[in-house]
Amino acid sequence: MKNLFSYEGKRCLFAGCFSGMGEAAAQIVESLGGTVVAADIRKPTSFGYEAFHEIDLRDGSAIEQLVAQVAGAGPIDRLFYCAGLPGTKPTVDVMLVNFVGLKHTVECAVPRMPRSGAAVSISSSAGMGYLGNMAAVMPLVTAPGWAEGKKWVEENAEGMEAYSFSKMCTIVYTLQRAASLTAATGIRLNCTSPGPTDTPMMPAFVEQAGKKFMDAYPKPIGRNSTSEEQGWPLAFLNSDAASYVSGENLYTDGGGAAGMMTGALTMDVSLIGQD
């Protein structure tokens, strides 16, 4: 039987793979036979790649150049957008890297991808309130291009809780865009929503929300996940094994969001800010 999890013959662009989940996903894809094209603000060292492109994903024209350069050298069979910034960083930067850059990278890449192509990104269980915030996120989700998205962010940045807003936008974009994208091009679009994961980003969450809150964050498995445990679901969603999966937001949080959305678990927000 054919191994549909294999990445043999697939050229995969990774935007955000120096550390954490993106690094783990790139290592996994390499181990499954895929060709990695790496792009990050920092140069990765823990896996092999065809090429490394230094890029700041806060820059829309740099994203356009990246995609043109990568597509000029071969097919983009799969796109992994794994870059992100925590809420401790400036609001505009968080929104640009976490959402506007993600959408722009996908929209620039898909016209150059084959019908069998797929793209995946990383949202968060912090975005799970998206259904109650559709009206708030839609203007940015549907902003037509980089300039309009950036302008909207700059005009609305004041008072915005950027991290969870960017993650709600990522989920809504994935769910909403997949319908037209997959129908028109065959390309699948999915995202994951991890819970707390021990990556270089975790200290920023502890700094922002407090250790007590992060320790008590609902996680039925009883511990934070590892980067590798997040890398495998990303590799799955972009593999041929997921050939009928599109428009999916996969909670990779050990059951936390499922429990919270059904009232089986509660998040103790009174712990926010406590060490």
Ligand X SMILES: NC(=O)c1ccc[n+]([C@@H]2O[C@H](COP(=O)([O-])OP(=O)(O)OC[C@H]3O[C@@H](n4cnc5c(N)ncnc54)[C@H](O)[C@@H]3O)[C@@H](O)[C@H]2O)c1
Q: Which residues would be at the binding site for ligand X (CB under 6 A)?
A: 16-22, 40-42, 55-58, 82-85, 97-98, 122, 124, 194, 196-197, 199-202, 205
The whole-angstrom separation of Cα 34 and Cα 36 is 6
Q: C-beta of 138: minimal distance to ligand X in Å?
A: 21
Partners of 122 in beta bridges: 192
Least distance to ligand X, CB of residue 44, Å: 8
- Report angle CA 146, 151, 154 to the nearest 5 degrees: 125
Position closest to ligand X via CB:
20
115 or 133: CB nearest ligand X: 133
Q: Indicate if the alpha-carbon torsion angle 38, 42, 43, 44 is positive or negative.
A: negative
**In the bound complex, what is the minimum distance in angstroms from residue 101's beta carbon to ligand X?**
7
CB of 67 to ligand X, least distance (A): 14
Spell out the residues 6+ positions from residue 107 whose beta carbon is closer than 8 angstroms to its own.
145
Closer CB to ligand X, 174 or 199, in the complex: 199
Residue among 224 and 239 whose Cβ is closer to ligand X = 224
Shortest Cβ 88–ligand X spacing (Å): 11
Which residue lies nearer to ligand X by CB, 4 or 154? 154
Q: Label residue 144 exposed, middle or buried (CB < 10 Å: 0-12, 13-18, 19+).
A: exposed
Of 227 and 246, nearer to ligand X (C-beta) is 227
Tell me the C-alpha distance between 256 and 252, whole Å. 9
Token pair of 15, please?
């935007």
Q: Whole-number minimum distance, CB 115 to ligand X, in Å?
A: 28
Q: Judge contact between 210 and 274, C-beta under 8 A.
A: yes
Say how far apart CA 37 and CA 29 lie, in whole Å. Answer: 11
Nearer to ligand X, 179 or 272 (CB): 272
- Name the residue type at position 20: G
